Amino acid sequence: MTESGATMPALIRPMLATPGELPGPDQEERWAFEMKWDGVRAVVYLDEGGVRILTRNDREVASTYPELAGLGDGALRARGVVLDGEIVAFDTHGRPSFGELQARMHVQRPSAQLLADVPVSLLVFDVCFLDGESLLRTPYVDRRAALVDLDVNGARWATPPAFDGDGAAALAASKAQGLEGVLAKRRDSVYEPGRRSRNWVKVKHIRMQEVVVVGWQPGGGRREGGIGSLLLGVHDDEGRLVYAGHVGTGFTDWMLDDLMARLRPHERKTSPLATEVPRAQVKDARWVTPALVGEVAFGEWTRDGRMRHPVWRGLRPDKAVEEVVREA
């Protein structure tokens, strides 16, 4: 079902997936499977007015990723289309690298050298609006067919394949390629803007968690005078910001310098957390007003609600502090 003659919407917030497991073999025919890409979610609007690129928290980032402007040079712009996808940077092995992308995420007008050193690509996996028609109520399988017909493939953009049937095989293939996991999507599912839906399920090889930076502890040794570890929080079921642990690994020197510059303006004297923090972390803690969202990989949750063996992956400027909750 489409809404014919509609005006292109100014904002379509991306539909979100729920963490979970692969559907059982007896349910697989109802699902399609896509690779999960390690980047920044982006909704791209193409029409005669040009190209707009909005992140999950409605930030306009077309100037941050100017190599994607070429999407508006061809037939897509004349047709009027809204695409959903992921902006990624690839490492030397051709795998999406969130670490590489960090160098681009915060730069509003990248230099020619940075564009050459860390190029990005847009991987498109859905279409929400096309030729004056809203496709939000159109089943996934039909939206996917429309996307394939658009042939969104070029030097800096592509439409990766989706797979029917064998979810275990898709998950194994993603692991073999060094990817994050897979997304299972019900073939009959409509597009639900801004909603985290059980009709889309993300299945990851490793646990990852969005976190709010609530403070830091000074470092020692080669980190003397800088950040030794970050203190982290997540929102609980009651909406309170609670302590989730601390992370001291996974940083590059550039990341630590950048974090220090971003945290300094937010320093405060008291903890912003609704729960107590262990004495070892309270000692010498430098608290900050919650403003920065990051992401960590970790082993498991402890009984007291802290992440075991977290490793820092990077900042997530595309995520809002209020959105950060503990993932199942």
The residues that are catalytic are: 36
- CA distance readout (Å), 245 to 31, 240, 248, 288, 324: 36, 15, 10, 15, 14
Helices marked H in the chain — which ranges? 75-79, 98-105, 112-117, 140-150, 167-176, 253-263, 279-282
- For the chain, count helices (H), then strands (E): 7, 20
Size (the chain), residues: 328
Is residue 196 helix, strand or coil? Answer: strand
Which stretch of DSSP H or E encloses residue 198? strand 196-204
Of 247, 93, 121, give the one whose Cα is nearest residue 179: 93
φ and ψ at residue 242, rounded to 5 degrees: -120, 155
Q: Are 122 and 87 in contact (CB under 8 A)?
A: yes
Q: Using alpha carbons only, what angle is made at residue 184 by residues 183 and 188, rounded to the nearest 5 degrees? A: 130
Best CA proximity match to 216, nearest among 299, 301, 312, 308: 312
3-state secondary structure of 256: helix
